[in-house]
Structure 1
Amino acid sequence: MEDNSLQGKDERPNPPKNPLPEISLRPFELSDADDFMVWATDDRVTRFGSWDTYNSREEAVTYLKEYVMPHPWYKAICLKNRPIGAICVQPGTGCDRCRGEIGYALASKYWGQGIATVAVRIVISSIFSEWADLERVEALVDVENPGSHRVLEKAGFIKEGVLRKYYIQKGKTRDMVMYSFLSTDPKPV
């Protein structure tokens, strides 16, 4: 079994007093529905997502069963094996099979701790070897989502530019920033 965990270590001479805890990625299980509801019911978390805030556990279970579990690469971001967020890579098909789109969500109480950055680095460290045709992982981020911009930049993604009026999100046309990470880019540490 592959170890998809990284210890948040800081190599500086005087590392911060609270180093990152061990973060791992694993497939979701139906028993994760209550943990999933922690962030899926939080409007702050879903604000920039393509999905709406969940209002019932039944909706969450249906989503886990019908979309998450059959998805080719959709994982729980875990602390001590307990889900605190989600991360996925949507593969391209046909002529687009050389690229995939990464997306992630994290419970708001864990924001600003570097956890999402570590999760993105874990994905980048393995996804290119898992998918033979993959050469590019891209992310579309709302221009008004500075936290996600920081996550991607710290994980080694390159900002390519702003796509104006690119995406309709929750009924409003949004400007999106395109980020990418290529299979030939230096892998994150």
Structure 2
Amino acid sequence: MKFDTIINQPVIETERFDLRPLRKSDMGLIEHYASDERVARMTTAIPHPLPPGMTEAFVARAMSDQRGEDIWAMDATRDNGPELIGVISLKKMDRNQSEVGYWVAPIYWNTGIASMAVEALVNTNPMDNATMFASVFQDNPASARVLTHCGFQYLGDAESYSVARGATVPTWTYSRKL
């Protein structure tokens, strides 16, 4: 696999930033933000502390032709911001469905960035899905509001393991028919 390969994944524009495929130069900001315990604790997969090599492996996986998930950087450079203010992804599922996942750098929390990114992904529907799903930890009501703001409907309660917390955490699951 070539690590500098350009991915077959669309660039999606919003009013304030672009969603673009990850690139090798994103590793520094991803590592900076993902190392923040506040970010890691609201995800299932980011450990805290962040081990060496994890960010490089994440970016390499995102750039792979055999990936099962499309991952975009929230890039604010066209609005004179940083190259990466968050990450959003679509994980392929069976039956023409996908799962949305995202995190935003804490400095951009409560600014509408997450809602704008999810809305852009839903409206573009790059995988041409019939349904998108998303889950949030129940102690993260801000992320639940992002999903309901973007037209996701509550499906039910579940649990997911959080690597950063080292525990199973109650979740709310949402879906959006497209």
TM-score (normalizing by structure 1): 0.77
3-state SS, counterpart of residue 138 of structure 1:
strand
The answer (yes or no) to whether the contact 1:91–1:97 under 8 Å persists in 2 is: no
3-state SS, counterpart of residue 31 of structure 2:
helix
Cα shift at 1:55 = 4.2
Q: Does 1:47 align with 2:47?
A: no
Which structure 1 residue ranges, 4+ long, deviate > 6 Å from structure 2? none
Cα shift at 1:2 = 6.0
The answer (yes or no) to whether the contact 2:10–2:20 under 8 Å persists in 1 is: no
Q: Which residue matches 1:110?
A: 108
The answer (yes or no) to whether the contact 2:92–2:99 under 8 Å persists in 1 is: yes
Alignment partner for residue 169 of structure 1, among 162, 165, 174? 162
Q: Which residue matches 2:5?
A: none
Return the index of the structure with the highest Cα Rg: 1
Q: Aligned equivalents of 2:72 and 2:106: distance in 1?
A: 18
Q: Does 1:85 align with 2:86?
A: yes
Cα shift at 1:167 = 2.0
What number of residue pairs does the alignment pair up?
159
1:2/1:46 Cα in 2 relative to 1: closer, same or farther (>3 Å)? closer
Q: Unpaired segments of 5 or more residues in structure 1?
A: 8-21, 184-189
Q: Which residue matches 1:37?
A: 31
1:3/1:68 Cα in 2 relative to 1: closer, same or farther (>3 Å)? closer
TM-score (normalizing by structure 2): 0.82
Q: Which residue matches 1:141?
A: 136
Q: Aligned equivalents of 2:161 and 2:115: distance in 1?
A: 26
Cα shift at 1:153 = 1.3
Cα shift at 1:64 = 0.9
Q: Which residue matches 1:181?
A: 176
Q: Unpaired segments of 5 or more residues in structure 2?
A: 1-8
Any idea what the Cα deviations from partners look like across 1:69-93, whole Å, max 9, x if unmatched?
223411101111611110001011x
Cα shift at 1:3 = 5.8
Q: Aligned equivalents of 1:2 and 1:144: distance in 2?
A: 33
RMSD: 1.9
The answer (yes or no) to whether the contact 1:41–1:55 under 8 Å persists in 2 is: no
Q: Aligned equivalents of 1:182 and 1:61: distance in 2?
A: 34
Q: Does 1:74 align with 2:67?
A: no
Higher relative contact order (CA 8 A, sep 6+): 2
